[in-house]
Structure formats: structure tokens, C-alpha cells
Structure 1
Amino acid sequence: MTTAREVLDRCVELDRFTADPPRLERVYLSREHASANAVTGRWMEQAGLRTWQDAAGNQCGRREGREPGLPALLVGSHLDTVPDAGSYDGMLGVVMAIAVAERLRDRELPFALEVIGFSDEEGTRFGKALLGSQAFAGVWEEDWWDLRDRDGMTLHQAFLDFGLDPRRVGETARAPGDLVGYLEAHIEQGPYLEAADRSLGYVTTIAGARRFRLSFVGEARHAGGTPYHRRRDALVGASEAIVLIERRARDSDCIATVGRIEVQPGAINVIPGRADISLDLRAATDAERDEMWASLLGEIETACAVRGLRLEVRETHHAPAMPCAPWLQEAVMAGIRSTGDDDPMGLWSRAGHDAMAVGLTTDVGMLFVRCHDGISHHPEEDVRELDVAAGLDALERAVLEVAATIGAAR
């Protein structure tokens, strides 16, 4: 039986497949992606799964249920990383899923059990997140083929170089009838479990996110010769908006982040004539998020009018919130209770996950594992062996709870 220590060792083994050693970076359709898939596939085979790489580059494994051809319970996460990543975001969930499949290899289930290592949750290479899981959910868009990486290579060409046929990407899609549900174990990527001294939590919903590019357009003029009452300083207007965004978010249940500022012309002695900022807006529900955006937009427009600035808004990303199915929340809670935690802690996920895309085709549930100080997307990302051990027991029990529910319904 695969232990928590072996799970952690396997995560470290995956660190070998990096494009930028000693920093961890493993992106979609790279040599490192192929190597990680190969090793993960071997672990799946050792757990008794039949393995394959699908038409979008996701690594898959399957064991039939009590009879061939039954719909599958899917368990997994992703194998790709951000630049300068930690060892556990995504990978821990894949390796835990394989370990649970190994634990249950002799258990007859009323469904097939599938494990998946999604190929591109982060969107690091082509700037489009969830490519692997969106292909799985059947929502691939033709204009994505023209996406380019930092070297100018298109997604279409990267498919060909990886040995995949772009014409066959639609074969990745799974129909709702193919699946009974999806379970994903993942590090929390936040401090709430640690603050509550809990090893595990269940996810209630995954944040709905919207991203914008806000452009503040004023007038570039000489910094020394232009009096203040004549200035239309775009950067000052953007700065006011940034402070407003943080203040409003702090007073709400929403999360709003400005992560990028670009200023033109960018000279020391020139009043900025244009400032562009990014805005990442998230909330547990789409209604909360959209209400916050409408309020922010109104206040920012008013502030721009006072300063004589023109505001241009472009939405660059829109993802609806994905609630976890109540029956799968119950299964995950039962798994947590089996570890001795009688009052499981529910959390809404501030971060996005492959479950957001998979939820377009089947019910989803998520198990969070405590991570040190909530650190993620950073080399100091860390988890404790005792928490992983509890997570393995809880995930195994959750699968059996799903089996009991499905068995009772048939």
C-alpha cells in the first residue's frame, strides 16, 4: 500500500522534470510534460490501471468496475506548474489519486475508477488556463490554436511537435454519461486550515473569476511646465483606482488584485499620458463578484471624470463559479470524519482548479490538504506527512462513500 511518505517522495521525483533547474517549471506540451506523463503512467500501471495519454496530452488510467464499460468516477489533478513552482500544487492530488487506486485495486466498485493527470491547468505557456480539462469537458475553441508562447510558437504547432494530432483533440471530450463524478485532492493554497489547526477541509464552491484590463488615458505633458490644475495624469488616476479596489475588497467577501501596471510614455520628466492596470476579481458566487465589479466601475468612472481622464475597459477572462455537488461534499466530509475530525471545515476555494472545467460535464467534489502558511506557487510550498496520510485515508473513504451512494441507486 502506497504510504504518505511515498506520495511525498513521488512529488519530489516529479521535480526532476523541469525546464529551468534548480527552479521548477513544467509547461504544456514540453519535453518535461512528456517525461512527467511517462513516470506518472508507470505509477498508474503499478496501481493496476490501464493507461493512455489522451488527445490533449492528459495522462489517464482506468480500472473497470464490477462489469466492463461502467461510467467512471474520475480522481486526479494536474501535472503542470507555474514558473519557479512548489512541489505539490496539482502533483500531490495526482499522486494521491494513484495511491488510492492502488489501495482499492482488489475492491469491487459499482463504477470504473479513473485517475487523471491534467496537462495544463496553470496556462503558463500559452496564457490560457485549464486547456487540458477544458478539452476533457468538450469546450475546446478553434481560435485557441492561434495562441502563441513566448517564443512565438502556436498551440497548433506545439501539438504537432509533441506528437499529438490537432484534428483529434475532440476525442478527449467525455460525455456526462461516461462519468459518475470527479474528486480532486489539492493543497489549500491558503492559511485557513492551518489557522484552525485542521489537516483537511472540504470545498463548497470554486471562485468565479473575472479579469480586466483598465486603461486610464490622460495627456502626456512636460512635468516641469504643466501646472497641477492643467494636469491629466493617468498614473495618479490609476493609483486612486488601485487604492479604491483594495479598500472595497477588504470591506467585502470578494478578492480583488491589481497585479500589473504599465505606464506610457514612462519618462521621468513626463506626466504619464496612459496607465494600464490589470484587475483580477473573485468571489464565492458570481452575483457577489458581479455586484462588486459594477460598484467599482461606477466609482472609478466618477474619479476619472473628476481628473479629466478617459477610462477604457477590456474584459480578458470570465469564469463562472463552480459549486461542488452536495452529495460529493457529503462524501468528502465522510472521508474527513473517518480520520477523526468530527466537524469537517468547509472552505470556498479562492484559487481556480481543473474541477471548474470538469464540472461542466459532471458533478465535482474537492478535498483540501493543509499547506504550510498557505504558501503556494513558490518553492517554499510545503505539506506535512501526517496531513497527507490523513488525506489519503479521507480520499479513499470518499471514493467508498461514492460507491455506496451509486450502489444504493442501482
Structure 2
Amino acid sequence: MEINQSASKIMQQANKLAEFTAMEGGLLRAYLTPEHRQAHQQIADWMTEAGLQVWEDSVGNQWGRKVASNPTLPTLMIGSHSDTVANAGKYDGNLGVLLAIEAMQVLSDIDLPFNIDIVAFADEEGTRFNTTLIGSSAVAGCFQSNWLDIEDNDGISMRQAMLDFGLQPEIAGHDQYTKEQLLAYLEVHIEQGPVLESKDLAVGVVTAIAGAKRYQFNVRGMAGHAGTVPLDLRQDALCGVAQMISSIEYFASNHDVVATVGKCEVKPGAVNVIPGEVNFTLDIRSQDQAILESSCVTLLNQLEAIAQERQLTFQSEKIYQAEAVPCNSKLQQQWAEVVEQQTQKEACLLHSGAGHDAMVIAKIADIAMLFVRCEKGISHNPREQVMTSDVGVALTCLVEMVKKLAVSG
């Protein structure tokens, strides 16, 4: 089958996967749901058609293996995730899974010196249990048993959901891989940003995955009557938070970080009452872990100083952290060589501001990622779109990368 036909096939398969949804008029596929089961059965069927041996692991990840006749090297793992956020697009995660399967179809008649394990991770987004990267964490040997007690919005624990799905929660993550088993991990993913489109490039090579920290802040002042308390006697929590948010934006624009205040809850929330309490969040990221750490310390000190100046109380809680992960430099170079050979253009090197399964698999293997251009950088949105021709380029690059690793080890 020609690459263009293969690319069209992948686009049709993405449309098919989008049918497995719990959302009326949109796409939502969460961990350990009927839609998860339906999608993975379909993925397993496609894996079988590509000549792969298929199985489901202890946490519900779907696997397919291209078996080498005489493997002399550790296993090459290629994958991405099959779950989605609410009201999602068709390509985030899913495109990488489909590209990996189709690459095995293209390589079906070629014997390689290693086994290739294709994986569709069952949970990367954390949509149901608000614990991200469950699938890859189990594979990397860092599944936490206390996750089994986390409940979804319906009060169903992960333990019970696993039992309902037909899994055995007591052995979750016990079938993890080790460093000795793996040659490398490759992941193809839509960029989820506008850089490649701005450069008119189909694909780009990822240099690192940004680390992230998330905080929940509580700021308290004094609620009061909007008409009777003079401005100079107020302890307005929202005005203090407004200054804090401006400080966050200014800091991020002058340092190598991105920072976002995504949630802000004002209490009591009445039009004629001075805000007495505000809860807000901060998401801060950098591809350089040292910069991320120092930035968080500096910013928290700045926010505390603003609160003291305005006679407000300030409390902070770190609710999430993930360390920045560099992609393997040798694999980066190899993929850049493939990209330049296939596109006749200099490879674009860029980091990922979003988290990916690769950042967890990096605990047990060298990782490399290839980004695919997406329209206007839109993702986590029904308007998420990729071009069939770009999918063809990504498929060719993945196939050639596998061939290159077969020669170089």
C-alpha cells in the first residue's frame, strides 16, 4: 500500500475511533469505561490485521507485538494514548497509536533484529480519576497502589472500576517493563501548538518535555459593603489577587517559563459585596527543571509579599508536579536526519509544553518524540485537525526511524 493510501486509512481509522464516545455530539473516552473497551477492541483488531500479537495488560493498556525471527536487541516500544478529554478532538494521542500500527503494516515483510511493542495507553489525560498517566505509569513501574482508592464523580473507585472492567487491581502494574528490556521508546503526537504551522513544516523533532507545577492558592481579606467601606480601608481579596496575577504574567514574560491562572473563585460573589476570599490556581512550566524550581520559589515569595502589603492572608498548596524530561540526544539526531531526508528541509527542533506518556517511560528507556503539525495549534477541542499529507510524512518518518534503529542499534 502506498504511503498516501496508508495516510488516508489512518484518517478513516481516527474517524472510527471517534465513534466510541460517552458524549452526545462530541468525543469523550475515559479510562475503564465501555468506550475504552470498544476502542481497544477495535485497536486490537487493527493490530491483528497488521500481523501483531495482541494482549491487554494489568491496567487495561492495549498491546501489539511485531515479533522478530531472531531478536538480538532489547525491545523497541512505540505508542501513545487512546483516552481523551471531554469534548476532545480526534487526533490527540490516537494519531500516534494509529501511526504506530500502520508503520508495522508497512514493515510487515521486513525482519528486524528486535521485537517492536506497540502500545495504546489507556489513560494519559486523567479525565475520570484526575490522576494522569495511569497507563504509562504502570508500564514504567511507578503505579501507586493508593490510586486504587480514588473515586470518580459517581463515587466509583478505581479499584471497583478495574473489577468491573475485568481486571485484577491487586496486580495492577506488576507486569511493568525494565530498563534492560527496552531499546528505546518512540512517540508520534500532534504538536498541540502553532510552531510547525508558522514554519510551514509537516513535522518536528521534540527536544524535551516541559516540567510542570500546579498550585492552589487561597487569599483572604475582609468582605464588606461595596458602598460604605472607603477604598483605603478595604482588604479586598480580589484586588490583591488581580495584582498577583499581573505579577505572574510579568514574571513569566521575562523568564523561560509559561504560567497560567486557569481557575479563579470569588467569594461571596455578590455584585455589591467587597470580595473577602478568592481561590485561584497556577500552572507553571519550563523545559529546564532548574529554572522551573527557582521560578516557583521566586513567584511564591512575590505573591506572599503582595498579600502582606495588602494585609491579606495567603495560603498555597502544591497539587501537582512533573519533572522536565529531555529527549535522548542521539535519538533526536537520528530522527532529525530522517526528517531532513524525507522532507528536504532542515528539521525543526522544538520542546513540548504539554505532558506526554513519554515523560513517564523516560524512567525506563531513552525517549524520542516526533510532532505533527495541527491546524492553528488547536487541541483538546473538536476543531483539532491534521492534514492527510502530514500524516503521510509522519508515517514515512516513523518507518524510516525504525529502519535506522535496526541498523544502528
TM-score, normalised to structure 1, is: 0.96
2:177 is aligned to: 174
Shift of 1:229: 2.2
The residue type paired with residue 325 of structure 1 is: N
Shift of 1:55: 0.5
Give SS of 1:149's match: coil
Q: 1:95-244 alignment to 2 at 5 Å?
A: 95-244=98-247
Cα pair 1:335 1:396 within 8 Å, conserved: no
Per-residue CA shift, 1:337-388, capped at 9, x if unaligned? Answer: 2313341000000111000111111110000011111000000100001111
User: Could you tell which deviates more after superposition, 60-69 or 194-203?
Assistant: 60-69
Shift of 1:68: 5.6
The residue type paired with residue 144 of structure 1 is: W
1:256 is aligned to: 259
User: Could you tell which deviates more after superposition, 33-42 or 323-332?
Assistant: 323-332
Cα pair 1:334 1:401 within 8 Å, conserved: no
Shift of 1:250: 2.1
2:66 is aligned to: 63
Q: Quote the Cα distance in structure 2 between the aligned partners of 1:294 and 1:55.
A: 39
Shift of 1:219: 1.7
The residue type paired with residue 383 of structure 1 is: V
Q: Which of structure 1's runs of 4+ aligned residues deviate more than 3 A? A: none
What percent of counterpart residues are identical?
Answer: 42
Give SS of 1:299's match: helix
2:313 is aligned to: 310
Give SS of 1:28's match: coil
The residue type paired with residue 395 of structure 2 is: L
Per-residue CA shift, 1:287-338, capped at 9, x if unaligned? Answer: 1212222221122111111110111010001100111011211221122123
Q: Which of 362, 375, 387 pairs up with 2:378?
A: 375
Cα pair 1:208 1:320 within 8 Å, conserved: yes
Shift of 1:404: 1.4
Q: Quote the Cα distance in structure 2 between the aligned partners of 1:327 and 1:367.
A: 14
User: Could you tell which deviates more after superposition, 262-271 or 284-293?
Assistant: 262-271
The residue type paired with residue 215 of structure 2 is: F
Q: Quote the Cα distance in structure 1 between the aligned partners of 2:58 and 2:201.
A: 39
Q: Quote the Cα distance in structure 1 between the aligned partners of 2:157 and 2:363.
A: 26
Per-residue CA shift, 1:167-199, capped at 9, x if unaligned? Answer: 111323111111111000000000000101111
Q: Does 1:324 align with 2:302?
A: no
Q: Quote the Cα distance in structure 2 between the aligned partners of 1:78 and 1:326.
A: 24
Per-residue CA shift, 1:184-234, capped at 9, x if unaligned? Answer: 000000000010111110000000000001111212223233222221111
Shift of 1:70: 5.3
The residue type paired with residue 122 of structure 1 is: E
Q: Quote the Cα distance in structure 1 between the aligned partners of 2:333 and 2:94.
A: 24
The residue type paired with residue 393 of structure 1 is: T
Q: Quote the Cα distance in structure 1 between the aligned partners of 2:167 and 2:86.
A: 24
Q: Does 1:397 align with 2:400?
A: yes
Q: Does 1:44 align with 2:44?
A: no
The residue type paired with residue 288 of structure 1 is: I
Q: Quote the Cα distance in structure 2 between the aligned partners of 1:120 and 1:139.
A: 14
Give SS of 1:317's match: strand
Shift of 1:69: 8.6
Structure 2: gaps spanning 5 or more residues: none
Q: Which of 35, 42, 47 pairs up with 2:38?
A: 35
Q: Count the aligned residue pairs.
A: 406
The residue type paired with residue 265 of structure 1 is: P
Cα pair 2:71 2:112 within 8 Å, conserved: no
Q: Quote the Cα distance in structure 2 between the aligned partners of 1:34 and 1:70.
A: 33
Q: Does 1:355 align with 2:333?
A: no
Q: Quote the Cα distance in structure 1 between the aligned partners of 2:163 and 2:278.
A: 39
Q: Quote the Cα distance in structure 1 between the aligned partners of 2:9 and 2:320.
A: 38
User: Could you tell which deviates more after superposition, 263-272 or 125-134?
Assistant: 263-272
The residue type paired with residue 96 of structure 2 is: G
2:341 is aligned to: 338
User: Could you tell which deviates more after superposition, 251-260 or 337-346?
Assistant: 337-346
Q: 1:25 to 1:69 in 2, by over 3 A?
A: farther
Q: Quote the Cα distance in structure 2 between the aligned partners of 1:47 and 1:97.
A: 10
Q: Quote the Cα distance in structure 1 between the aligned partners of 2:392 and 2:209.
A: 24
Give SS of 2:225's match: coil
Shift of 1:266: 2.0
Give SS of 1:62's match: strand
Q: Quote the Cα distance in structure 1 between the aligned partners of 2:72 and 2:123.
A: 28
Q: Does 1:386 align with 2:389?
A: yes
Q: Quote the Cα distance in structure 2 between the aligned partners of 1:335 and 1:46.
A: 27
The residue type paired with residue 30 of structure 1 is: T
Shift of 1:141: 1.2
1:92 is aligned to: 95
Q: Quote the Cα distance in structure 2 between the aligned partners of 1:340 and 1:37.
A: 33
Give SS of 1:348's match: strand
